Structure 1
Amino acid sequence: MLFPHLPFDTAEMPISYGNRMSEFHAGRPFPEVLKDIDVLQNDMVAHKPKALERIAQVSGVSIEALRRNTPIPLDHRKYNLRGEIVSAEFLSSPHIVFCPACLLEDDQRGGRRVHWSWGLAVVRTCPRHGDALQHQTATSWNDRLQPLEHLVPERGEALQAIVASRTRRDPSALQNYVLDRLEGRKGPEWLDAQSLEQAVRTTELLGVLLEFGSEQSLPELTPDDWDRAGRTGFTFTAVGEAGILDALQRQFDGFASSRGTPGAQKIFGCFYKALAYSKSLKDPGDVARILREFIWDRIAMPGGTKVLGQELPERRLHTVGSLAQETGHDTRRLYNLLVGAGVVPPGAASHFAIPVGVGRAFAASVQRIVKMTELSQVLNCTRPMVEQLCDERILTPVYYGTPGINGKLQKGVNGDECVAIAAALSAKVTSNEARPSQVPIAKAAEKAKIPAVCVVQLILAGLLRNVARIDDVSGIKGLRVCPFEVKSVARSALRGMTASEAFAALKLTKDAGWELVARYPEEVSLEPHKIVGNRGDRAISRFLPEAIADFDRGFTTLARAAEIHGSGVKELKRSLMKVSLKPVLPWGAVGADIYLVSDIAKVSEAEQHFRLFYGQHMVSEWTKLTAFGKGAHGKSTGYGG
């Protein structure tokens, strides 16, 4: 063992220590000293156990200290670094990496040191000085045996100039995580459950996808690019599976309106390919499962499709096209039906995914659609009764087909609903013989002064005790009820207005009105009053005056506002457009533009004030001025600009 003993720096690589030891004891290059102590240069470059053991014997440094600061080679380009198994790609080789500021300090105290952490590709910032590390390509196989004085000849002012030119930044959270983990400290749970290389690779690849896009070529990235990717990726992988899913969803959402049918490789590009087609056949870790399930849950593909090494057992999602092909529907007609039913949003891309159960059930149901023109025969009732049944949502209209000349879609009803309503009415029949006092539904409604559909509602709700059917007459025309019972029950039970009356009062279309009902109890919605029979049968939806008044005080349509303020709808709409006043609930949400009454009042009051102050002949001038948000005297009206 050489004397005097030269202390080993705990942050130093064994080869760096060997260079200092050779200079300190022999004043000769390390490669020459290796020959003297019978160590092959190749073995020392590769950090083979025998070479490290010999250095430990000669220097008096413990073999554990030397092993701790270097990746020990295993088979197939694998290394053991402090108990973590990593590949050659995890290391910074073949680059020589150093911190100029550290070298400057070493020059002042004597003897440059190569830090063991510089040998990791993920370490790109000096933890001590906050400088981006310098990367220099090795020109010869034995450059790694040379001291840094040979590889980086700059000293003094020249080295200070290099220091001054470096990018200043904090070490990335990913770099800190890796170094902490190699020191034995715990980190985020999901990352700790992966191998060290899997954790780093997942984090950096996810960051590349988010920062540089799916078409980025990985070999073209610089160390600074990888550092940026690692910083971004770590914000997601540190959260675990939920964070990774969040990142994948952000990437997926960017292709929501893409034309054609973008697949997994198009959407996730470099990230997907790196996991699926790694030349080194590395196990990507749990991220492969996460990405695979994400793809299966969002991209329509047939059963048996292989994703990241595993086959999809059975189809989970359909596009409109694949659903039409499977069920024998016309694609365009099926699309219109799905849009009309709210299963697919209007204008959705062709790759919009539909849960397979929902799609198949809907496709099966639309095969049984009964056109509106046929409903009166199916239910054996009048055409007005069919319209009333749909208006009150006893039957749910289904819209389909391409718009006609008037811009409206065809309308029908699911045949299953027709069967269900007919069965429910038949179940309420208490006698197969009508008494003389019993009359058809239309006649009873006339005597009770209520719409005929209300009588049907009373029957379905189980509120009428005496319902008869004429023999051999099916459907609604065959039913008979007591007009006195209808009148009495209607008077006591039917509080408020029908849906048609309520929506008409608010200047709402029936479809828009029912959409607002479906939103209850959201802020902009209509609250229905439910009337339920003693046996819990089908409830009757009515609208109490106070509920209508509450909605009318807070919200309005253009038609309703124009009616109240005495102006035309077109004129009011122009006024709102001039001040850029938008509805609180747009047409796309419920089929009508819903405004705040308070907003309409402000605009209307401003216009009325102008009318009174300047006279009717000046109204057109107010309209011009509001386009610029100024009043007649150049003062802001508060509504423009």
Structure 2
Amino acid sequence: MLTPHIPFDPEESPLSYAAGLAGVHIGDRLVRFLRDFEIEPQDMAANKEGALRRLAEVSGAPLGDLRANAAVPFGERTYELRGELVAAEFLASPYTVFCPACLAEDDRTGRRRGRWEWSLAVVRTCSRHEIPLVRQAKGPWDDAFRELEYIVPERDENLQALIEKAAPRSVSPHQEYVIRRLDGKAGPEWLDAQSLEQAVRATELLGVLVEHGPGQKLPDLTWDDWDHAGRVGFGFTSLGEDGIREALEAQFRKFDDASGTPGARKIFRYLYEASAYSDSHKEPGDIARILRDVITENIAMPAGTTVLGVKLRERRLHTVASLAREQSLDSRTLRAVLVAAGVIPEKAPAHFPIPVDKGREVAARMKRTVKVASLWKDSNFTRPIVDQLFADRLLTPIYKGRPGTKGRTQKAVDCKEIAMLVGKLHAKAVELGAETDGLVPVSKAAEKAKVPAITVVHMILGGFLECVFRLAGQDGIVALRVDPEEIKRHRATCAKGLSVMEAVASLKISKNILWGLVDRYPEEVSLAVNWIVGPDGEHRIPRFDAAVVADFKDRFIHPARIAEKYDVPIREVVRRLKQQRVRPVLSKAEVGENFYRTRDLKPELFI
């Protein structure tokens, strides 16, 4: 063992330590020292096990300490560093990396030392001085030995100039995580579950995607760009799957309005390509699964499509076009119905994803539809009761056009829904062989009891009536027979307050707007509905408190009522409101009409 003994600095690399021994013991450069002690120079430069073992014997430094600060070859272009396997690309080689401020301190003590951290590509900032490290390209053949005394010629003022040129910056949390992990300290759970190289690659590529987009060419990125990408990416990967999903889904949103059908490779580019590698040295880790899940949750693909090495067992999403083909429907009509059903936005691009179940449900409804115009005839209803059924939400119309759109109309209704309604009504009835005195059709009974026909329907569904019959061989509401006197007895209970149609007439709004206001309750601009529950405990009759409706009418107003109040055309009302930049408290896009606070409107605006 060499004397005097020179202790091994725990921050120093074995190669730098050997160079220091050469200067002290033979007063010459590293290569001669290594050959004098039968250490193959190239083996030492590569941190091979035999070279490290011999250096430990010669120097007296513990072999374990030397190995801890070196990336030891473990296979072809693979290295082992403190229990972690990394590829050659993980290391800074062939570049020589150093901190000019650290070298300036070393110069004052007499010997420059190469820190083991500088050998890692992810280490780009000096943790002591918080300035960017200098990255020096490989020059002469002996640069591989990283002899900082010789390959970094700057001294004194020149070295100080490098320090002053460096813009101060903190160490990125990404770099800190890597060093802490190599020191055996636990970090974020998801990152710790990946190999070190997988964690670094996922973090930096995600950062590049977020910061620069998929069009960025990786070779064009500077060292500082990669440092910034690590900072950005770590903000997501440190949060685990939730954070990564947030970043990936935000990237999808950037392509929401893209023309055509952008694929996963176009949207994610290098992150997608890195996740598709099958080489064992490039296994992407869990980010490939997360990316695959996000892709399959956002891009419509047929069953059997391979996504990052895994085949889709079944289709998860449709586009309008693919759903129309599958269901043999006209794509334009299907699109209109999907918009009306709220499954897709009105201006959805062609690639907008539609959940398979929702899409097929809407398509099935289209195939089962009965046109509203012929509903009374096709389903054995009376003409007046059709609108009342829709008004009280006993039937749900399929619309053309979104809320507030001019020409929005009820085009059809699901015949399955009609069948369920008729089935409930018939379930309450006893079969009757022939007409009987005292029993009359629903419409006639409503007329005699002076209530709307829909009220009679509610009484039947709610279990209020005991005498309900159905003529044998007939179907629909027209087949039902009831006792008008029994209806009169329940009139006070079932007709308390205002009906939907009466509330609509009072407020001068459509029934759809009324229900939009009900659905918003208890928001400021909303309406409360009083539900009357029948004896069966299941069916509910919607009624409105006249005082509540009057109060709403007093506090809120819409253009049609403004026009009526001031005898001004609606178009002129709308123009003046826009001109004065009066904003509605509830918009047309939300419920189909703009509502304003009455107290906010000055009368002189319309006079």
Q: TM-score range by the shorter chain?
A: over 0.9
**Once the 2 structures are TM-superposed, how far is the Cα of residue 285 of structure 1 from its aligned partner?**
0.9
Deviations 1:436-464 (A, max 9, x none): 22223222222322222222222222212
Cα 1:473–1:47, aligned 2, differ >3 Å: closer, same or farther? Answer: closer
Aligned partner of 1:588 in structure 2 is 589
Give the partner amino acid of 1:177.
Y
Could you tell me how far apart the structure 1 residues matched to 2:243 and 2:322 are? 32
Task: Supply the AA of the counterpart residue of 1:518.
Answer: D
- The farther-off stretch of 488-497 and 166-175 is 488-497
- Letter paired with 2:560: A
Do 1:462 and 1:535's aligned partners in 2 also have CA atoms closer than 8 Å? yes
**Given the superposition, is the C-alpha separation of residues 402 and 247 from structure 1 closer, same or farther in structure 2, using an over 3 Å criterion?**
closer
Kept in 2: contact 1:430–1:465 (CA 8 A)? no
Tell which deviates more after alignment, 111-120 or 359-368: 359-368
Instruction: Find the counterpart in structure 2 of residue 273 from structure 1.
Output: 273
Could you tell me how far apart the structure 1 residues matched to 2:254 and 2:455 are?
50
Deviations 1:150-170 (A, max 9, x none): 211011111111111112100
Pair 1:427 & 2:399 matched: no
2:313 alignment counterpart:
313
Give the CA deviation at 1:113. 0.7
For 1:576, the equivalent position in structure 2 comes to 577
In structure 2, give the amino acid aligned to 1:438.
L
User: Match for residue 129 of structure 1?
Assistant: 129
Amino acid at match of 1:467: V
| Equivalent AA in structure 2 for residue 466 of structure 1 | C
Cα pair distance change 1:425/1:262, threshold 3 Å:
same
1:560 counterpart = 2:561: yes
Matched to 1:226, the amino acid is: W
Single out whichever of 79-88 and 273-282 deviates more from structure 2. 273-282
TM-score normalised according to structure 1 size? 0.90
Q: 1:143 to 1:278 in 2, by over 3 A?
A: farther
Distance in structure 2 (CA, Å) of the matches to 1:126 and 1:406: 65
Any idea what SS the aligned residue of 2:601 has? Answer: helix
Residue range with higher mean Cα deviation, 454-463 or 217-226: 454-463
Gaps spanning 5+ residues in structure 1: where?
A: 609-618, 620-641
Please tell me whether residue 209 in structure 1 is matched to residue 209 in structure 2. Answer: yes
Distance in 2 (alpha carbons) for counterparts of 1:295 and 1:181? 31
- Count of aligned residue pairs for this structure pair: 605
Given that 2:428 and 2:463 are in contact with CA atoms closer than 8 Å, whether structure 1 keeps it comes out as: yes
Q: 1:554 Cα shift?
A: 4.6
Residues 247-301 of structure 1: CA deviation (Å, up to 9, x unaligned): 1111111112222222211221221112114767511111111111121122211
Amino acid at match of 1:604: K
C-alpha separation in 2, matches of 1:535 and 1:116: 80
Distance (whole Å) between structure 2 residues aligned to residue 189 and residue 562 of structure 1? 63
**Distance (whole Å) between structure 2 residues aligned to residue 146 and residue 392 of structure 1:** 84
- Do the aligned residues in 2 keep the contact of 1:333 with 1:401 (CA within 8 Å)? no
Whether 1:543 aligns to 2:541 is no
RMSD over equivalenced CA pairs, Å: 2.2
What SS does structure 1 have at the residue aligned with 2:489? helix
Q: Distance in 1 between matches of 2:338 and 2:438?
A: 47
**2:336 counterpart residue number:** 336
Verify: 1:483 aligned to 2:484, yes or no.
Answer: yes
SS at match of 1:302: coil
SS in 1 for 2:283: coil
Conserved 8 A contact 1:194-1:286 = yes
Partner residue, 1:21? 21
Residue identity matched to 1:465: E
Distance 1:472 1:82, change over 3 A: closer
Structure 1 residue aligned with 2:454: 453
- Letter paired with 1:429: A
Alpha-carbon separation, structure 2, partners of 1:334 and 1:470: 39
Assess if the C-alpha contact under 8 Å between 2:494 and 2:541 holds in 1.
no
CA shift, 1:174, in A, is 0.6
SS in 2 for 1:128: coil
1:15-70 residue CA offsets vs partner (Å, 9 max, x unmatched): 11111111111111111111111111111111111111111122221111111111
Give the letter for the 1:55 counterpart: L
2:483 alignment partner AA = C
- Cα displacement string for residues 388-411 of structure 1 (whole angstroms, at most 9, x for unaligned residues): 2222222111124999x9834561
C-alpha separation between the residues in 2 aligned to 1:523 and 1:294?
A: 38
Once the two structures are TM-superposed, the CA of residue 562 in structure 1 deviates from its matched residue by 4.3
Tell me, in whole angstroms, the C-alpha distance in 1 between the residues paired with 2:361 and 2:247: 32
Structure with more relative contact order (C-alpha pairs < 8 Å, separation 6 or more):
2
Per the alignment, residue 495 of structure 2 pairs with 494
Whole-Å Cα distance in 2 between the matches of residues 346 and 293 of structure 1? 27
- SS state of the match for residue 465, structure 1? coil
- Contact 1:516/1:524 (8 A) holds in 2: yes
1:169 is the counterpart of 2:165: no
Q: Which residue of 1 aligns with 2:510?
A: 509
Cα deviation digits, residues 293-314 of structure 1 (max 9, x gap): 1211222111111111111111
Once the 2 structures are TM-superposed, how far is the Cα of residue 498 of structure 1 from its aligned partner?
A: 1.6
Check 1:146–1:373 CA distance in 2 against 1; reply closer, same or farther (3 A cut).
closer
Do the aligned partners of 1:434 and 1:468 also contact (CA within 8 Å) in 2? no
Closer/same/farther in 2, CA of residues 520 and 350 from structure 1, 3 Å limit: farther
CA distance in 2: counterparts of 1:360 and 1:431, whole angstroms: 37
1-side partners of 2:497 and 2:507: how far apart? 14
**Aligned residue identity for 1:417:** E
Matched letter for residue 395 of structure 1: L
| Counterparts of 2:415 and 2:401, CA distance in 1 | 17
